[in-house]
Amino acid sequence: METKRYTKETVSQAAKRIQAGELIAFPTETVYGLGADATNAEAVSHVYQAKGRPSDNPLIVHLSTKEQLNQFVAEVPERAIKLIETFWPGPLTMIFEIIPGSLPSVVTGGLKTAAFRMPDHELALALITEAGVPLVGPSANTSGKPSPTTADHVLHDLAGKVTGVLDGGATTVGLESTVLDLSVPEPVILRPGQIVAAEIEAVIGKLGQANALPTDQQPKAPGMKYQHYSPNARVLMMPVGERDWSEAILKLQTEGVRVAILASEEIISMNQLASVGSFALSEGDNIADASRLLFAGLRQLDESSNEIDTILVQTYPEEGLGLAYMNRLKKAADNQYI
């Protein structure tokens, strides 16, 4: 099929395709999502097919109003109401026990829970409102590859597989939302994101500690079980605080490895690297810029040259937003350091 590019002026046309059970990728503040009517099991099944995504990996339901949550959750707890008032619309996903039968099992992965969020993006909210239904919205990419942060990234992966993409320009956050499990007595973060634990605890008190997911257990949220964010080239991480990359580059080159680097402008210029290519994450050690550009950098380096064997990537301390950045980078690198 031909994949059409929709714009702000043609949101209503894109919404009609959603109503017809088709797939429309849409921008959020985090990454682009692959939208389908969350109440239409057949439409949602096509999302898994288009992405090549494992069917036991549950999907996040995207809402355009806070009131829509009441269609699926019998009683929204007080702590959730406080979080909604503080962080919605925004990059916080919350998991609740749902009303039995209120969502197809293909959305929940057969679980009694589901994840919900209200994106902070004008076009996403307009699309959901115009369609008149909540949307599932997993990242609009081939499963396992770096998440898309522009409409062009979506088209690179899914052109011909989906009806269209609503083009809202580059995303502003660049990493997927924080996922908070509120279906348990002591809330826990299952996936870190821009909204960090300290901000959540300031609203509802101390959070619990999430345990690693056993290999035979079904995940309650995206990004918990399967390999994610990996380009075709191998990704290696440079240890935190390492400033002289020259020795590492030279070692790889003597082994016949063609290296590109993903790091700050300062690191790129300081080391005068003889690499195949480079992509600047930020002017200085700016974790917000690095997070916003991580996926775009992995994609650009991977696609810019077939001469690249390995992408060497700057790491950050695992605190605050650095926790979310490193969560994605470790998955992209399969936990491999130089």
pLDDT band at residue 322 using 50, 70 and 90 as cut-offs:
very high
What angle do the packed helices 287-304 and 321-332 form, to 10 degrees?
A: 20
Residue with tokens 């503080």: 86
**Whether the Cβ atoms of residue 11 and residue 32 lie closer than 8 Å to each other:** no
d(CA 175, CA 172): 9
> Per mean pLDDT, which range of 168-177, 214-223, 293-302, 318-327 is the poorest?
214-223
Q: What is the pLDDT of residues 66-77, one digit of tens each?
A: 999 999 999 999
Q: What is the pLDDT of residues 79-101, one digit of tens each?
A: 999 999 999 999 999 999 999 99
298's tokens:
């992995």
pLDDT band at residue 53 using 50, 70 and 90 as cut-offs:
confident
| 53 is an annotated ligand-binding site residue | yes
Q: Where are the alpha helices (DSSP H) in 122-237?
A: 122-131, 151-158, 197-204
**Whether the Cβ atoms of residue 294 and residue 329 lie closer than 8 Å to each other:** yes
d(CA 39, CA 45): 11
CA dihedral 225, 312, 172, 57 (to 10 degrees): -10
Residues linked to residue 180 through DSSP beta bridges, in sequence order: 94, 189
Give percent of the chain with pLDDT exceeding 90. 78
268's tokens:
């790129």
| 291 is an annotated ligand-binding site residue | no
| 113 is an annotated ligand-binding site residue | yes
Residues linked to residue 260 through DSSP beta bridges, in sequence order: 277, 311
78's tokens:
């007080």
| 229 is an annotated ligand-binding site residue | yes
The residue-averaged pLDDT of 133-162 equals 96
> Per mean pLDDT, which range of 38-47, 264-273, 297-306 is the poorest?
264-273
User: Among candidates 218, 217, 214, 208, which has minimal Cα distance to 180?
Assistant: 208
User: Among candidates 113, 108, 145, which has minimal Cα distance to 235?
Assistant: 145
C-alpha triplet 259, 262, 266: angle, nearest 5°: 115
d(CA 79, CA 207): 12
Q: What is the pLDDT of residues 54-65, one digit of tens each?
A: 767 899 999 999
**pLDDT value for 214:** 52
7's tokens:
């714009």
What angle do the packed helices 197-204 and 78-87 form, to 10 degrees?
A: 130
Give the pTM: 0.94
Average pLDDT of the chain, as a whole number: 92
| 177 is an annotated ligand-binding site residue | yes
| 62 is an annotated ligand-binding site residue | yes
Over 80: is that where the pLDDT of 227 sits? Answer: no
**pLDDT value for 221:** 74
320's tokens:
């605050």
Q: What is the pLDDT of residues 209-220, one digit of tens each?
A: 877 655 556 777
The residue-averaged pLDDT of 287-304 equals 94
| 147 is an annotated ligand-binding site residue | yes
**pLDDT value for 305:** 65
- Domains, the chain: 4-204 (3.90.870.10), 234-332 (3.40.50.11030)
Give percent of the chain with pLDDT exceeding 70. 94
d(CA 225, CA 219): 6
User: Among candidates 231, 207, 194, 222, which has minimal Cα distance to 322?
Assistant: 194
